[in-house]
Amino acid sequence: MQCRDAVISGGGPVGLMLALGLAQQGRAVTLVEALPEEKVDTEGSFDGRVLALTLGSQEVLERLEIWQALKPFVEPILHVHVSQQGYLGLTKIHAEELRVPALGFSVTARDLGRVLWQAVSAQKNIEVLRPAKVTYFQQEQGEVQVEIALAGEEEPIHQSAKLLVGADGTQSQVRKVLGLPIEEKAYHAYGIIAKIETEQPPQGWSFERFTEEGPVALLPMGGHANKAVLVCPEAKLETYMQMDDESYMAAFAEKMGERLGRFTKVSERVAYPLKESYVPQMTEGRAVLMGNASHTQHPVAAQGLNLGIRDIEVFLDGVQSEQDIGRPLLLETYAQKRREDHEKVMGMTDGLIQVFQHPSPIVGHLRGLGMMAIQAVPPLKKRFARFAMRGVQGGEI
């Protein structure tokens, strides 16, 4: 049986991008995905939600040679406006003042998935097994022996590889087999996602506003459409989900303000529970966890997928000249490099929630002063923006 360079469990964005990057290095990759092809854009990672890609993520996608195919489906974010309800203080960041083409880009998960799967299907170095799941594995003699259950087959497939990657989400089977502990935090809140149309086109403007219940956000989608996010406590979820469209748009406008004129139309709403998880030990022998399998965040800073893309970037750089990409010391070096970025982003995300949802008026005024300071001090503003666009690699905070 031929030993593959890598078996990747999970065909979400991180698993697909990593497979492409390794294949472009000439590696033999087996990609294992649980969902059948006909469900890829209705369930799982590639449903109708809208994602925010940072400038750093766009550069990685360009390096993976998929940006040109994705470009027709993205909307550039040229301006970011951050404020808080009931208090003074706001921060505005513009791509032009930072001398970058865009601060980031919005794209539907469905379009991203379609482009990624097309690129993977065109790669001869990638073997795709779907619908299939990694059920068990063991490490022996410089290899990982992986057991894969393929739908419709009574007997499992056995595959040997130098490296096993768990890119299979928060409930990662790879993590469970490894027995690695996971730290979880529930925010007892939900993010309600919808497409909302405004009287005026967003023209590259993205808005985020913090309220006592949780943040609300608008992300440009092209034309008059925006991705609308409303975070609410568990106790109020049903109230918001049962509202008719006019009532929901009025409730959203009360929190956000009518930044782009009236809200004129809203799509069906989808709600997701908001949780944070972190796996402090992301490697064990020749196995490594990436993306949501090792970290998931509250979406307040829109860093979840972007953090996973930075995982891929650092890993690909680290194995570029390596023959054995699953060497345990190599994986531990990768983990050490990523730990600082993971912990800073997760600390920042959690800190934003704690600070902006603190009910004290004194804290509210202090928040306003902080936002005004970022707005008024150009070096501080650029430092904050660089971190948002590129993570730890792009600028310390």
358 pLDDT higher than 50: no
H-type alpha helices, 141-216 = 173-178
Residue 193 has pLDDT above 60, yes or no: yes
* Angle (nearest 5°) at CA 283 between 281 and 288: 130
Residue 22 lies inside a defined structural domain of this protein: yes
Look up the domain containing 164 and give its range.
Answer: 3-54+109-182+279-350
* Spatial contact of 101 and 143, defined as CB atoms under 8 Å apart: no
Length of the chain: 397
With a cut of 70, say whether residue 9 has pLDDT above it.
yes
Whether the per-residue pLDDT at 386 is higher than 50: the answer is: yes
pLDDT band of 356, cuts 50, 70, 90 = very low
What pLDDT score does 387 carry? 53
Say what percent of the chain tops pLDDT 70.
81
Q: What is the pLDDT of residue 40?
A: 64
Residue 101 lies in a domain: no
What's the pLDDT tens digit per position in 293-344? 988 765 544 566 888 999 999 999 999 999 999 999 999 999 999 988 877 7
Query: Is the pLDDT assigned to residue 154 strictly greater than 70?
Result: yes
Cβ burial of 239 (10 Å; 0-12, 13-18, 19+) is exposed
Residue 143 resides in a domain: yes
Average pLDDT over the chain, rounded to an integer: 84
Q: CATH no. for residue 40?
A: 3.50.50.60
pLDDT of residue 355: 42
In a domain, 115, yes or no: yes
Is residue 77 pLDDT above 80, yes or no?
A: yes
Instruction: Report if residue 220 sits inside a domain.
Output: no
Q: Tokens 């912990």 — which residue?
A: 343
- Examine residue 231 and state whether it is found in any structural domain, yes or no: no
| Of the listed ranges 12-21, 157-166, 246-255, 272-281, the one predicted with least confidence | 272-281
For CA atoms 62, 64, 70, 74, give the dihedral sign: negative
Q: How many domains does the chain have?
A: 1
Mean pLDDT of 339-367: 55
CA atoms of 389 and 103, how far apart (whole Å): 7
Residue 80 lies in a domain: no
Instruction: Give the bridge partners for 166, in sequence order.
Output: 9, 289
What single DSSP character describes residue 2? P
Is the pLDDT at 174 greater than 60? The verdict is yes
- In-domain check, residue 362: no
- Specify the higher pLDDT residue, 76 or 81: 76
Please state, in angstroms and rounded to a whole number, the distance separating the CA atoms of residues 223 and 211. 27
Looking at residue 301, what is its pLDDT? 45
